Chains A and B, each alone.
Chain A
């Protein structure tokens, strides 16, 4: 599995009494890349909606065959939508609901994630 740069935005989550935990999120804007995470190790994955729609390989089929490069667990059992769910270093699971506001390109970031379709 290779890593791909994804256009995303930064958000700040709160988990318990811990604040300003950096998370990343994407918004649909002409295209849409979805993000996922492995809840067993915190690795973050991406899947372009066009790959899901047009590659001939549905997402559940791809996930069913994939092993997490971070912890070797089966992604079909450990994968969850990110950043709605994310794992902190100590194993705590956090929640973050990204804004649906479409922000300016200038504040976007290019972050590399594991590409489920690579």
Chain B
């Protein structure tokens, strides 16, 4: 009787151990929904519904980064800061107009629609020089103040299709490493808070 019970219970115990292990592994994955990003997948796209809060970090696991939508998955950190500053280089003759009328949103770009700034003057000049290979005039540098709102850190792949981004719901700004100057980052301000405050040079 005991032997029969053992034969019956042993497979059940093994199955419980296996599923218990899987369950334990699953709980070690970062819970993005508990952090600042609620993640869903709709029609193959991963969407993030961001909720503002002070500072939250959730590091995506390797298994998540290895999906077909890997760079969206690396939108792994978000924060809300009171104010931030960035720099935008422009042609000197356009600087007075920007200071007077404000900055306008770009229709598109590596990080989608919004106002593009770099976190350093050097980074802003590098972007300007990359875009204007023939201009010899030194650019004017405008300091732009903005409220980032929910700021997502993303890492776009080196080559991809420019177009609307599927994960930006609720994100006030997106930040990505510059592809031109190591150690600097570019931010696109999406929430309309960008205000030019002074001309740096």
Which residues of A does B touch, CB under 8 Å? Answer: 4-7, 27-33, 48-51, 53-56, 99-105, 110, 112
Contact mask for chain B residues 119-158; partner A; CB cutoff 8 A; 1 contact, 0 none: 0000000011011111100000000000000000000001
CB atoms of B134 and A31 under 8 A apart? no
Please give, as numbers and ranges, the residues of chain A lying within 8 Å of B135 by CB-CB distance.
4-5
Please give, as numbers and ranges, the residues of chain B lying within 8 Å of A48 by CB-CB distance.
91, 132
CB atoms of A32 and B98 under 8 A apart? no
Could you count the A-B residue pairs with CB atoms below 8 Å apart for me: how many are there? Answer: 83
Which residues of B does A touch, CB under 8 Å? Answer: 90-91, 93-94, 97-98, 101, 104, 106-110, 116, 127-128, 130-135, 158-163, 179-180, 186
**B94, B128, B134: which contacts A110 (Cβ < 8 A)?**
B134
CB atoms of B109 and A105 under 8 A apart? no
**CA–CA, A55 and B94, complex, Å:** 6
Please give, as numbers and ranges, the residues of chain B lying within 8 Å of A27 by CB-CB distance.
162
**A28, A30, A101, A104: which contacts B107 (Cβ < 8 A)?**
A28
**CA–CA, A55 and B97, complex, Å:** 7
**CA–CA, A50 and B132, complex, Å:** 12
Please give, as numbers and ranges, the residues of chain B lying within 8 Å of A53 by CB-CB distance.
104
CB within 8 Å for A33 and B159 given contacts A54-B101, A55-B93, A55-B97:
no
19 pairs, CB–CB < 8 Å, chain A vs chain B: A5-B132, A5-B133, A5-B134, A7-B131, A7-B132, A30-B127, A30-B186, A31-B116, A32-B109, A48-B132, A49-B106, A49-B107, A55-B93, A102-B110, A102-B159, A102-B162, A103-B159, A104-B158, A104-B159
Known: A28-B107, A30-B127. 19 other contacts (CB 8 A): A4-B135, A6-B133, A28-B106, A29-B131, A30-B109, A30-B116, A30-B186, A31-B106, A31-B116, A32-B109, A33-B131, A55-B93, A99-B161, A100-B162, A101-B162, A102-B110, A102-B161, A104-B159, A105-B179
> Which residue in chain A gives the minimum CB-CB distance to B180?
A105
Please give, as numbers and ranges, the residues of chain B lying within 8 Å of A102 by CB-CB distance.
110, 159-162
> Which residue in chain B gives the minimum CB-CB distance to A5?
B134
Please give, as numbers and ranges, the residues of chain A lying within 8 Å of B106 by CB-CB distance.
28, 30-32, 49
Please give, as numbers and ranges, the residues of chain B lying within 8 Å of A7 by CB-CB distance.
130-133
The smallest beta-carbon distance between B144 and chain A, in angstroms, is 13
**CA–CA, A50 and B109, complex, Å:** 14
What are the 10 tightest A-B residue pairs by CB atom distance, in nearest-first order? A5-B134, A54-B94, A110-B133, A31-B131, A28-B108, A54-B97, A100-B162, A28-B109, A30-B127, A30-B116
CB atoms of B131 and A30 under 8 A apart? yes
CB atoms of B162 and A29 under 8 A apart? yes
**B128, B130, B159, B186: which contacts A101 (Cβ < 8 A)?**
B159
CB atoms of B159 and A30 under 8 A apart? no
Among A7, A27, A31, A99, the most chain B Cβ lie within 10 Å of the Cβ of A31
